[in-house]
């Protein structure tokens, strides 16, 4: 299978989730073996786990906040090489999902390059577990993600993603970030998540969803989206079966670190 890049450049802009300032990025085609690389002012920040500086509310790479939904779109569409120029500190939150990135990338189209993709294949199962949360990656000739979680208020949800681009576009990319109203109020009192609103997140109140979900199980689908985004930080396309229980960015990033140590 050959490496791919975008056929042309494109831009995205909008508010950031945390700073509210207007965030703008330009995504440009890149040559073979370039990988996914962010450019911020004079800094070059490869999309690799070594550059992760924070995983508490999204994945922060270098000084760039919330890269995971853009990276999910790139990884979900199996794009290998891109330059991403970032103005400001954040990736635009858009609607809180990967949908707008995916729509733009698929309308531009992908160009096949001459070199073969450099798949990362596991030799053994890699596992991480902490506080009742667990995530593992097992050797598998393909890519899939099984996620199970029991959310407070909305109850248990599970999703099996079988790894095709078509399924990613239709079933995963539109799933938005979600949050509990109480937690959001607490974050906003600390001056965080100031850009969060019903325009860019699925909100959960005391009795259930406060705005219309796109899927009855939208939160667990977004959990799968976040894993696909965080796995882009391996720097290579992964062949594995991922099984996750209740995990978030911190565990996803730890799994990426352990995978790289295991090969
Ligand atoms: Zn997310």
Integer Cα distance of 233 and 231 in angstroms: 5
Give the CA-trace dihedral at 31, 32, 37, 39, to 10 degrees.
-20
Of the candidates 177, 165, 171, 144, the one whose C-alpha atom is nearest the C-alpha of residue 79 is 165
211 token code pair: 């705005």
pLDDT for the residue numbered 21: 77
155 part of a folded domain = no
Percent of the chain with pLDDT over 90: 86
51 part of a folded domain = yes
Of the candidates 230, 247, 263, 260, the one whose C-alpha atom is nearest the C-alpha of residue 128 is 247
Asked if the model's pLDDT at residue 63 lies above 90, the reply is no
Q: Which of 8-22, 28-42, 232-246 has the lowest mean pLDDT?
A: 8-22
Of the candidates 5, 9, 6, 82, the one whose C-alpha atom is nearest the C-alpha of residue 47 is 82
Q: pTM for this structure?
A: 0.96
Phi-psi region of 33 (alpha: psi -120 to 50; beta: other; left: phi over 0): left
148 token code pair: 């199970």
Asked if the model's pLDDT at residue 239 lies above 80, the reply is yes
Integer Cα distance of 124 and 262 in angstroms: 8
Query: What are 157-199's pLDDT values in tens digits?
Result: 999 999 999 999 999 999 999 999 998 888 888 888 888 889 8
Distance 72 CA to ligand 1 centre (A): 9
Domain that holds residue 53: 2-118
Distance 247 CA to ligand 1 centre (A): 12
The protein residues having their C-beta less than 5 angstroms from ligand 1 (an ion) are: 177, 226
Mean pLDDT, all residues of the chain: 95
**Cα-atom radius of gyration of the chain, to the nearest Å?**
17
Distance 61 CA to ligand 1 centre (A): 14
Average pLDDT of span 75-102: 96
Asked if the model's pLDDT at residue 111 lies above 80, the reply is yes
pLDDT for the residue numbered 109: 98
Average pLDDT of span 111-138: 97
Query: What are 14-36's pLDDT values in tens digits?
Result: 998 877 678 999 999 999 999 99
**DSSP code string of 212-262:** --SSTTHHHHHHHHHHHHHHGGGSS-EEEEEEEES--HHHHHHHHHHHHHH
Supply φ then ψ for residue 184, to 5 degrees. -65, -45
Distance 23 CA to ligand 1 centre (A): 17
Distance 115 CA to ligand 1 centre (A): 31
Alpha-helical (H) ranges within 109-217 are 165-167, 181-189
What is the domain-level CATH number for residue 31?
A: 3.30.230.20
175 part of a folded domain = no
Distance 226 CA to ligand 1 centre (A): 5
231 part of a folded domain = no
49 token code pair: 């786990």
Asked if the model's pLDDT at residue 49 lies above 80, the reply is yes
Distance 131 CA to ligand 1 centre (A): 21
Widest CA span of the chain, in angstroms? 54
Q: Which residues are catalytic?
A: 249
Distance 58 CA to ligand 1 centre (A): 6
65 part of a folded domain = yes
Of the pLDDT bands very low, low, confident and very high (cuts 50, 70, 90), residue 58 is confident
- Count of domains forming the chain: 1
196 part of a folded domain = no
131 part of a folded domain = no
pLDDT for the residue numbered 127: 98
69 part of a folded domain = yes
pLDDT for the residue numbered 195: 84
């Amino acid at each position: 299978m050959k490496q791919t890049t975008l056929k042309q450049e494109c831009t995205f802009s909008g508010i950031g989730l945390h700073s509210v300032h207007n965030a703008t990025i330009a995504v440009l085609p890149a040559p073979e073996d370039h990988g996914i690389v962010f450019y911020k002012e004079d800094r070059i920040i490869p999309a690799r786990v070594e550059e992760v500086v924070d995983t508490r509310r999204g994945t922060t790479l270098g000084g760039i906040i919330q890269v995971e939904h853009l990276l999910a779109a790139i990884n979900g569409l199996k794009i290998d090489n891109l330059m991403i120029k970032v103005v400001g500190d954040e990736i635009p939150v858009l609607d809180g999902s990967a949908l707008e990135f995916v729509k733009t990338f698929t309308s531009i189209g992908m160009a096949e390059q001459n070199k073969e993709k450099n798949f990362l294949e596991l030799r053994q199962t890699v596992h991480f577990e902490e506080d009742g949360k667990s995530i593992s990656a097992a050797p598998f000739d393909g890519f899939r993600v099984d996620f199970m979680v029991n959310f407070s208020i909305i109850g248990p949800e599970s999703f099996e993603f079988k790894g095709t681009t078509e399924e990613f576009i239709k079933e995963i990319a539109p799933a938005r970030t979600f949050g509990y109203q109480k937690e959001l109020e607490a974050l906003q009192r600390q001056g965080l998540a100031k850009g969060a609103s019903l325009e860019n997140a699925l909100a959960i109140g005391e009795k259930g969803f406060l705005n219309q979900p796109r899927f009855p199980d939208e939160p667990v689908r977004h959990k799968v989206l976040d894993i696909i985004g965080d796995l882009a930080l391996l720097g290579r396309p992964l062949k594995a079966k991922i099984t996750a229980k209740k995990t978030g960015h911190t565990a996803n990033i730890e799994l990426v670190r352990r995978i790289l140590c295991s090969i």
